[in-house]
Amino acid sequence: MELLSGADMIARFLKDEGVEYIYGYPGGAALHIYDALFRQEDVKHILVRHEQAATHMADGYARASGKPGVVLVTSGPGATNAVTGIATAYMDSIPMVVLCGQVMSSLIGEDAFQETDIVGVTRPIVKHSFSIRHPSDIPTVLKKAFYIASSGRPGPVVVDIPKDMTAPTERYEYSYPRKVRLRSYNPAGRGHTGQIRKAVDLLTSAERPVIFAGGGVITGRASEALTDLAHRLNLPVITSLMGIGAFPQNDPRSLGWPGMHGSYESNMAMHESDLVLGVGVRFDDRVTNNVSKFCPHARIIHIDVDPSSISKTVHADVPIVGAADSVLNEMLNQLGQRQPAEPVSLDDWWAKIDGWRDERRGKLYEPAAPGEPLKPQQVVEAVHRITHGDAYVVTDVGQHQMFAAQYYRFNQPNRWISSSGLGTMGYGFPAAMGIKLSYPDEHVVLFTGEGSFQMMMQELSTCKQFGIPVKIVNLNNASLGMVRQWQDLNYKSRHAHSYMESLPDFEKLIEAYGFRAITVHTPEELDAALEETFRSKDELVFLDVHVDPREHVYPMQVPQGAMCDMLLSKTERT
């Protein structure tokens, strides 16, 4: 066995765990660890310009790769700056390990310089947290942290590391723990066979079934099984916002995503359905609208690895606790073994769904006439065309996020990257950077707004230092568009602080960091600018697209209504 200091053990463990990048920012309490990183070459550290960006980079990487993202920050302000990113990851069940420096253990509790009880601060927004009590515990604690972060329903894990735990003078035996066991933590595996049989019975006898698939299908790598099941029974598939890409959107069975700004057909279909097969979703309030009016005719089958998700907001008639992949495969198995009874015809159901699709076809938005300000929707569609629908698409939060989700079409999992549960403005840019670093040969496109981008634009400097060529599409409506939309609808267009005065000259701003920016105002300019932007995968380009600030996101569910109660445009409603 080798003798290593605590700090060297951390660096070494990260290597042994297969971590390629960590994202972070140094400071007093973390300096021993930084020194250890300096003396090795396997783990690459990316120096951000704000710790929040480090967490979002790790998060973006985790969503794209399915592996935990790793963050390193110092105590006090370093750790508190990471809080928003930890909360973002927690809400969307993203695996992340956050290593926080801490003041020396002898000083804890004395309000020492840069002391914050970060374990306490983050307690409600982590899956679990650890404080290192002895340097020799470092390998096992880190292994537990990675295991907990990435298994079951994933989530962020904070590891608090007092400075004396990493002191270079003291050395301990190190070996990489291949496996750890926790007696109190056993993530669900296979579902209950009897429950699965009930689910299959219901599925094969329903007249108006829908699948409702969430992020759990993506993290649980169950897209294939889900797709098989949908094909086998010819089921309509709706994914949550987190589940986008879990089922190919170019499949005719895909109805898109439901909820507040979800597609007309998915909201109608879910409301009218007689059976909802929920997989890895949490039926959150942005989907259900008023829960008491949710799916009045449907029975609910709910598959989830996390039992606390089941019957939390919506009562499940058939709860199944288990990993999505295993449960769906068992369903396929049982279907295969059945006598091929006369299947219930879904023709009427599909006719109804196609009717809803036809109702809205061609009516979703009005593209801009020549010379007119561009519509954000058409910009997203144009980006979809030029990237052939297989870019990594990252968003910030606001109208542009919804437009990106509505008009980019995803055929694979892990390509739609967006802060859904917390809705964190500022998330997008660093998340895109985290992805691009690990997927340099792919297009990574950020759809952002001038509001969101300004929350994390300091990271241009990080892109410059490490050469991270993301493509930034700024849907610039010179306003906090989503806020403005609500003010138009609910506050008689009193635009309290939802405008953006004194916007920077984005071209100059971008050029100051040595990158190229292109400004676009009209439809005529768009295609050439996109050609330029996406010509190579090795250049950061910032496309400042001035879009119509009056545009609203539709459909939009009516507050407190059922899923089917929607505004369809400024003048139409269901």
Partner 1 sequence: MRHIISMLLENEPGALSRVVGLFSQRNFNIETLNVAPTDDPTLSRLTVTTNGDERVIEQITKHLNRLIDVVKLVDLTEGAHIERELMLVKVKAQGGAREEVKRTADIFRAHIVDVTPSVYTVQITGDAPKLDAFLQAMAPVGVLEVARTGVSGIARGDKVLSL
Ligand X SMILES: Cc1ncc(C[n+]2csc(CCOP(=O)(O)OP(=O)(O)O)c2C)c(N)n1
Chain contacts with ligand X (rule: CB under 6 A): 396-400, 423-426, 449-452, 475, 477, 479-483
Query: Do 288 and 294 contact (CB within 8 A), yes or no?
Result: yes
DSSP state for residue 279 in the 8-state scheme: E
Contact string 473-502 vs Mg ion (x = CB under 5 A): ----x---x---------------------
Q: Is residue 114 annotated as a catalytic residue, yes or no?
A: yes
Number of residues in the chain: 574
CB atoms within 10 A of CB 207: 13
Where in 439-458 is the site for Mg ion (CB under 5 A)?
A: 449-451
* Least Cβ distance, residue 377 to ligand X (angstroms): 12
The tokens for 501 are: 């005065």
Q: Which of 127, 253, 375, 400 binds partner 1 (CB under 8 A)?
A: 127
Q: How far apart are CA 45 and CA 136, in angstroms?
A: 24
According to DSSP, residue 106 is labeled G
Can you tell me the distance from the alpha carbon of 269 to that of 264, in angstroms, rounded to the nearest whole number?
A: 8
Radius of gyration of the chain (CA): 24
At 336, the amino acid letter reads G
- Nearest-10 crossing angle of helices 481-490, 399-407: 100
109 binds partner 1 (CB under 8 A): no
Catalytic, out of 57, 91, 482, 556 = 482
Q: Please state whether the peptide bond connecting residue 376 to the residue before it is cis, i.e. omega within 30 degrees of 0.
A: no
- Catalytic residue among 9, 13, 17, 51, which? 51
Among ligand X, partner 1, Mg ion, none, the one that 483 touches (CB under a kind-dependent 5 to 8 A) is ligand X
> Is the distance from CB of 422 to CB of 87 less than 8 angstroms?
yes
The phi, psi pair for 307, rounded to 5°, reads -60, -25
Active site residue 52: no
Amino acid at 300: I
Contacts of 144 (CB under 8 A, 6+ apart): 130, 180, 182
Record the tokens describing residue 192, joined without a space.
């209950």
* Nearer CB in complex with ligand X: 131/399: 399
Residue 51 designated active-site:
yes
113 labelled catalytic: yes
* Cβ-contact 426, 455 below 8 angstroms: yes
Size of the residue set binding partner 1 (CB under 8 A): 20
Print the binding letters for residues 171-210 with partner 1: x by CB under 8 A, - otherwise. Answer: -----------xxxx-------------------------
CB of 226 to Mg ion, least distance (A): 35
Verify whether residue 406 is a known catalytic residue: no
Instruction: Out of 127, 143, 144, 163, pick the active-site residue.
Output: 163
Which residue, 444 or 483, is less far from ligand X as judged by CB? 483
311 binding partner 1? (CB under 8 A)? yes
Q: Residue 185 or 466: which CB sits closer to partner 1?
A: 185
Which residue number, 129 or 227, has a Cβ lying nearer to partner 1?
A: 129
Contacts with partner 1, residue ranges (CB under 8 A): 119-120, 123-124, 127-129, 131, 148, 182-185, 306-308, 310-312, 315
Q: Give the residue numbers annotated as catalytic, written as ranges.
A: 51, 113-114, 163, 482
Residues that bind Mg ion (CB under 5 A): 449-451, 477, 481
